[in-house]
Amino acid sequence: MPIQVSTLPEYMKKRFGGNRIQMYLAVISLVLYIFTKISVNLYSGSLFLAEALEWNTWLSIIILLSITTLITVTGFIKVGGFQGLLDAYGGAIAEVNISSREGGNLLNTMILTAKEKNITSLLQLSNEPTIDSRLRCSLPSRKAFKLLREINDPDMPWLGFLLGQTPSSIWYWCADQMMVQRTLAAKSLSHAQGATLMTGIIKQIPIFIMVIPGMISRVLYPNEIGCFPGSDCLKICGHRNGCSNMAYPKLVIDLMPSGLRGLMLTVMLAALISDLTSIFNSASTLFTVDIYQKWRRNPQNIELMIVGR
């Protein structure tokens, strides 16, 4: 765009003047990248590799970092930017045998209990001592459709939502360098506005490629994905709080044929590495433009490229 800026801190300097705001925003953005982006991407990638290849978590993280560093530093592959839709996304829906012994026993117990005690609610039925307590895991919370909850709510009080979630969402979508750098590089204001609108439309896709597969996995694997938090989940996946992190990898590994499993693993790794390289690219831009040039006046382009890499 005609404002001729590369980063948001640089824009804020031109808008309000002074060097301190530019330096402050650049440093805090780099710190947030480490705690909110790089760590999350590495953890999700290690989960997929650990489930698919049975690798150690730390080994998976080291391999991901090594590949990403090689691609970022050498620049052999063009990564980052608009990724497009997933090239290979397979549906994973299997037949559930309701006539199995376990399923039949649970269904029979539910019917008898409901008939004897005149129970008409699934929530009441799940609280009965004769019913498996894991039945409650399939029920949504009573507050699921309540956005602003009580001040003492353990999950999301209304004060925490307004003062915590709202500013962080505004920062992520309106001030994060990885999000706004393509907008700043647009040819004109109309191009930037059109791309932003298109991004909002594409953002509706994750419900089909992220949420629905998780629901499918929860139905197909109630004992693993829907395990009761505590010792049960600790035995299954090594985490006390739940095993929902293994929902998507388990679908890929258990339901897809051998060829598609390898293809899906490649697609997932490519997406993770591409996301990491985009983060590193944004971080290097922030460092070279907003921090490095404060000490090194009038550097050449080749010098900035080397420092950034």
Report pLDDT digits (tens) over 93-124.
233 344 445 545 555 555 555 555 555 455 55
Instruction: Decide if 58 is inside a domain.
Output: yes
Measured at the CA of 79, the angle between CA 78 and CA 80, to 5 degrees, comes to: 140
The answer to whether residue 300 scores a pLDDT higher than 80 is: no
CB 209 within 8 A of CB 86: yes
Instruction: Decide if 237 is inside a domain.
Output: yes
Give dist(CA 252, CA 299) in Å, integer: 49
Task: Tell me the C-alpha to C-alpha distance, in Å, between residue 274 and each of 55, 78, 90, 143.
Answer: 21, 9, 21, 37
- Name the more confident of 92 and 258: 258
Report pLDDT digits (tens) over 263-284.
888 887 888 888 888 888 888 8
Q: Kindly indicate the confidence band of residue 180, based on its pLDDT and cuts at 50, 70 and 90.
A: confident
Give dist(CA 284, CA 304) in Å, integer: 10
Instruction: Decide if 171 is inside a domain.
Output: no
Instruction: Decide if 163 is inside a domain.
Output: no
Range of the domain at 46: 8-137+176-308
Q: What are the backbone angles phi and psi of residue 150, rounded to the nearest 5°?
A: -65, 160
Q: What's the number of domains the chain is made of? A: 1
Using alpha carbons only, how large is the chain's radius of gyration in Å? 24
CB 287 within 8 A of CB 30: yes
Instruction: Decide if 220 is inside a domain.
Output: yes
Paired with 149 in beta bridges are: 157
Give dist(CA 232, CA 241) in Å, integer: 10
Give dist(CA 175, CA 77) in Å, integer: 27
Instruction: Decide if 247 is inside a domain.
Output: yes
The predicted pLDDT at position 135 comes to 54
Measured at the CA of 220, the angle between CA 216 and CA 221, to 5 degrees, comes to: 115
Residue 110 tokens read as 């539910």
Name the residue type at position 88. A
Instruction: Decide if 162 is inside a domain.
Output: no
Residue 284 belongs to domain with CATH number: 1.20.1730.10
Q: Kindly indicate the confidence band of residue 81, based on its pLDDT and cuts at 50, 70 and 90.
A: very low
pTM of structure: 0.63
Instruction: Decide if 147 is inside a domain.
Output: no
The predicted pLDDT at position 136 comes to 54
